[in-house]
Amino acid sequence: MTSHAAHIKEKAANATLGFWLYLMTDIMIFASLFATFVILRDGTNGGPSGQELFNLEFVMAETFLLLVSSFTCGLAYLAIKHGQKRRTLVLLGTTITLGIGFLSLELYEFGELYLAGHDWTHSAFLSAFFTLVGTHGLHILIGIIWAIALGDYISKRGTTPDAVRKFSLFALFWHFLDLVWIFIFTVVYLLGAIS
C-alpha cells in the first residue's frame, strides 16, 4: 500500500471514530433530555397533561413515516454497497421524502399545541416535551440536509468506496434517530397518554 493510500485509509478511520464519538455525545444529550422529561412530566402547572394533549393516531402516523424511512435507508445502503447508483438515489430520495413528511407532521403538532395556548413556557412538562421532541426534530432536519448533500455527492461521484463509507455514517445516524423516536414514542406519548 502506498503512503498516500495509507493516509487516506487512516483519515477515513479517524473520521469514522470521530463520528462514533459524536454519536456518544448525542446519546448523552438525549439521555439527559429523557431524564429531565421523566422528572418534569407531572409538572403541568395546572395545565393539561399528555393524556389530554396527545393524539396517538397522529403520532402513529409520524412513527410509521420514520420507521419506513429507516427501512428505505437500509435498502439504499445495500444498493450503494452493490454499486447500484440509480437505486441508491431513488431510495435515498424516498428516505428524504419520508423524513420531510415526518418533520412536517411534527411541526404541525407543535403548531396545533401552540395555537391552543400550550407552548413551552406554560409548564415544566411542556418545556421538557418541546425540548426533547424539538431536539429530535432538529436532528431529523440535519439528517435530511445531510441526505440531500449525500445524494448530490453520489450523483456526481458514483458509488465509490468513499461514498459507501459516507453513506454508512449517514445510515448509522438515521437509524439512531429512529431508535430515539421509539423511546420518545414510548416514554412521552404512550406513557403520557395512559398515565
* Max CA distance (Å), the chain: 68
Q: How far is CA 177 from CA 1, 2, 41, 128, in A?
A: 37, 38, 22, 18
pTM equals 0.93
Please classify residue 184 by burial: count the beta carbons closer than 10 Å to its beta carbon, then call 0-12 exposed, 13-18 middle and 19+ buried: buried
Residue 127 has pLDDT above 60, yes or no: yes
- Up-side HSE of residue 92: CA atoms within 13 Å toward CB? 30
Residue ranges of domains in the chain: 12-41+55-194
Nearest to 16 by CA among 145, 181, 175, 171: 171
pLDDT at 10: 74
Question: pLDDT tens digit string along 141-178?
Answer: 999 999 999 999 999 999 999 999 999 999 999 999 99
**Fold of the domain built from segment(s) 12-41+55-194:** Four Helix Bundle (Hemerythrin (Met), subunit A) (1.20.120)
